Structure 1
Amino acid sequence: MAVEVQLVPVSLATIALESCFYGCFLVLAITSMCLLVGRRAKWLSPTFLSAIGIFITVTAHWILTVDRSFQAFVFFENGTFPTAFYGDLSQITEVGKTACLITTVAMGDAIIIHRLWIIWDRRLPIVLFPVLNFLGLIVSGVGITYQFTKYRTGQNVFQSDTSRWITSNAVFTLCINIYSTGFISWRMSQVGNVIKPIGRNRIHSVLGTIVESAAIYTTWTIFFFATYLSESNIQFITVDCVPAITGIACMLIHVRIGLGWAHEGSQAGLSISQSLP
């Protein structure tokens, strides 16, 4: 049975929780970019571009969340009907937030697919499955955003046409992350078993960061999916935190690589670590 929580308390909780996650993300993002600049990373490298892109979309999403709180409690009908404001998913700020969310998730999934492609020596058959899922992710993401522009007050977001797009989007991103992380782990474990002990330790350290980051994102996505399928308004909290969680998961790896810990290991460990975007 769905947990009955009103939109206004949910929205207030969203502001607090997303702000906490955004603060964590901001620290990691700044650290990541400082390390990349300090190590003279190429400005057009996948690592640097992905860091900048995710920083922009996650920040934009958080700004829109804060802006919507002012709209609901101050400007919309003089702040007397916040429930009506939050219940209208066709608001331009809500559509904008959705676009930022979809873009952030797409960039995060593109990064892990690129990482998989590099580690597996650019073997197309290995990345075919996640690439097909990525295309589905893009299509479903566009579908979600479009459906929100057509939303009418009183519609049930859990049972409308949007629900099929949301379900598909969640399944696609889960498939991408579970598959890619599994194959990356397998490949790096193989490399770690054939190099010197020092290099092996560095490989396992990088591998641990990748798995932990994937676990953070996957766990939160499953949490969102569960709240959505249960038709609980708590899903508004979980979905609004997805961009920040995605950013944290990506920046953890960027910081790990930027610190250059793998440089102390073997050449094999260095090669793999530096190839990770």
Structure 2
Amino acid sequence: MSDFTSLRTVLRSLILESCLYGIALTLFLSTIYFIVTRRTLASNRQTVKHQFTSLVFLGVTILFLATTAHWAVGIYQTFLILPDSGANPTHASGVLDVLSLSTAILAAECLMIYRLWVVWAHNPRIVIFPMCSLSGVLVAAVGISYVFIQTESNAVFLDNTKLKPWITTGFVFSILTSFYSTGFIAFRIVKFNVHQTSNSVLMFFLAILVESAALQTFWLVFTSSTILATSSVEFLTLDAFPVVLCISNLLIHVRVGLGWSRDDQAGSQDATPSFLSYSLQSNP
């Protein structure tokens, strides 16, 4: 890959990631706004402090911080490879890039499994398979980080042949977790709403996509396909992966906040209920 092609690819990835990061930042700030202004996520039994210290919000915060770190490292590395900079990306920045990516993936997987557990009324049997898959993702993430640190090279992440088996293994386990969780969450939503009356089929369809984290699963499959096929857009999809995971999870929280607004206005029956809000209402 020539320097010009490399710089052009990096700039494209940075532009896409920056645009998506702006969306993620807006959603994260909106989530905080809804928590503060609505006082609670579900009922008057829970305080604002309780919501900010809840496992769900902490998980989303970790995911957002990992996404922010990945985006910031991308900006730093881009400026270093500019023709007039006279510098090259350091190995330490590459390690931070890999660690932030791994953290974002693990946080998103944990949030998806937790949502699956909540949707299925805290049934422990439903999360046995995704927990095993998550263990595989964790092992792969540790293996990728260890190999990348030991190489002590500034080589591009995807160009390291020693990492290919670890990357493939991690994405396979992640796909298994995502397909399983998305499928069972979507099935539960459809089953729950089969007797519900709704004036908007589109809102119901969007609710399924948001609640089941279909965006996360789609981008995971898309990224895996480009990497395994060694496509020219593999850098683009992988760099945008953390921020897409962040957006997918934050959409659920923002939807809950917007759902309150509609419920508060003359008791509208049009909004499709969120499983996150139901789970919070059922727990003191």
* TM over 0.5, shorter chain: yes
Q: Contact 2:116 / 2:184 at 8 angstroms: preserved in 1?
A: yes
Deviation readout 1:194-241 (Å, 9 max, x if unpaired): 4x4259978766324224x42x22222222222212234532222111
Q: Contact 1:33 / 1:51 at 8 angstroms: preserved in 2?
A: no
Alignment of 1:86-235 (within 5 A): 91-151=91-151, 152=153, 157-158=158-159, 160-194=161-195, 196-197=196-197, 206-211=207-212, 213-214=213-214, 216-232=215-231, 234-235=233-234
Q: 2:85 aligns with which of 79, 93, 107?
A: 79
When normalised by structure 2's length, the TM-score is 0.80
Number of the residue aligned with 1:61: 70
The offset of 1:117, in angstroms, is 0.5
| Cα distance, 1:154–1:48 mapped onto 2, change above 3 Å | closer
Q: How far apart, CA to CA, are the structure 2 residues paired with 1:154 and 1:140?
A: 19
| Cα distance, 1:276–1:252 mapped onto 2, change above 3 Å | farther
Secondary structure, counterpart of 2:161 in structure 1: coil
| Cα distance, 1:45–1:199 mapped onto 2, change above 3 Å | farther
Q: Contact 1:7 / 1:233 at 8 angstroms: preserved in 2?
A: no
Q: Which amino acid aligns with 1:168?
A: T
Q: How far apart, CA to CA, are the structure 1 residues paired with 2:174 and 2:188?
A: 21
Number of the residue aligned with 2:237: 238
Number of the residue aligned with 1:52: 61
| Cα distance, 1:30–1:119 mapped onto 2, change above 3 Å | same
| Cα distance, 1:143–1:275 mapped onto 2, change above 3 Å | farther
Q: How far apart, CA to CA, are the structure 2 residues paired with 1:273 and 1:156?
A: 36
Q: Which amino acid aligns with 2:162?
A: D
Output the aligned Cα RMSD.
Answer: 3.0
Q: How far apart, CA to CA, are the structure 2 residues paired with 1:237 and 1:101?
A: 14
Name which of structure 1's ranges 103-112 and 28-37 shifts more when overlaid on structure 2. 28-37
> Identity percentage over the alignment?
28
What 5-or-longer segments of structure 1 have no aligned partner?
Answer: none
Q: Contact 2:59 / 2:111 at 8 angstroms: preserved in 1?
A: yes
Q: How far apart, CA to CA, are the structure 2 residues paired with 1:219 and 1:270?
A: 23
What 5-or-longer segments of structure 2 have no aligned partner?
Answer: 41-50
Work out whether 1:34 is the aligned partner of 2:33: yes
Q: Contact 2:175 / 2:217 at 8 angstroms: preserved in 1?
A: yes
When normalised by structure 1's length, the TM-score is 0.82
Q: Contact 2:69 / 2:100 at 8 angstroms: preserved in 1?
A: yes
Number of the residue aligned with 2:246: 247
Q: 2:275 aligns with which of 256, 259, 272?
A: 272
The offset of 1:116, in angstroms, is 0.7
Q: How far apart, CA to CA, are the structure 2 residues paired with 1:255 and 1:157?
A: 34
